Amino acid sequence: MDFQTEFKPLTVQPQEIEEKSFDIISEEFGPHDYPEEQYKVVQRVIHASADFELGRSLVFHPHAVRAGIEAIRQGHPVIADVQMVQVGISKPRLEKFGGDVRVYISDPDVMQEAKRLNTTRAIIATRKAAREAEGAIYAIGNAPTALLELIRMVKAGEARPGLIIGVPVGFVSAAESKEELLKLDVPFITNVGRKGGSPVAVATVNALSLMAERSG
């Protein structure tokens, strides 16, 4: 059977592909109320997910984008809940400002403590991050328990994040954890509902680091 096709891409140049993609996103997204800086994040999320409904569900604390840019420019680390988030984030842009991406979930001491307390590694990893990285950006795309623990710690005065990107995906506690995040008076970026995931967390961080780079 012959599977040959006459289809040819409009372009094979990466920059042109991205620019064309963003033109399509702007055209299809249509009118919106997002301020320009927030919309740059929305565009990146849609670009990463091809999901306009997800893009429209994003919610921003009024100071979220500025807080994220400042945290990056001050060299604060990004705390990823899982390795998938860590891998996708653009490291060179963070490194320009002295920052890095950290993930604690597979650290031996985290695994040992989680087993001892019969709890999730995500919870223990969040506690370790709070001790070691005040002012950090938390990028949570997979673990609702990490987000819920971070919210608890913020309320208790045990964690002082610069920005919380809380976009865990899933059917158990994902939407509920985001609802709790919306109640916090700290900078956050989240979305409504079950959708989310590593690509969303990664796209959000990368959008912020691009803005940090270009504002410098």
Residues with catalytic annotation? 47
Tell me the C-alpha distance between 45 and 180, whole Å.
Answer: 22
What one-character-per-residue DSSP string does 107-150 give? Answer: -HHHHHHHHHHTS-HHHHHHHHHHHH-TTPEEEESS-HHHHHHH
User: What is the C-alpha R_g of the chain?
Assistant: 18
CA 196 to chain CA mean position, Å: 9
**What is the rounded CA–CA span in Å between residue 21 and residue 17?**
6
Cβ-based neighbour number of residue 120 at 10 Å: 16
CA-CA distance, 17 to 24, in Å (whole number)?
A: 11
Give 101's strand partners.
Answer: 78
3-state DSSP helix/strand/coil % of the chain, to nearest 5:
55, 10, 35
d(CA 169, CA 188): 16
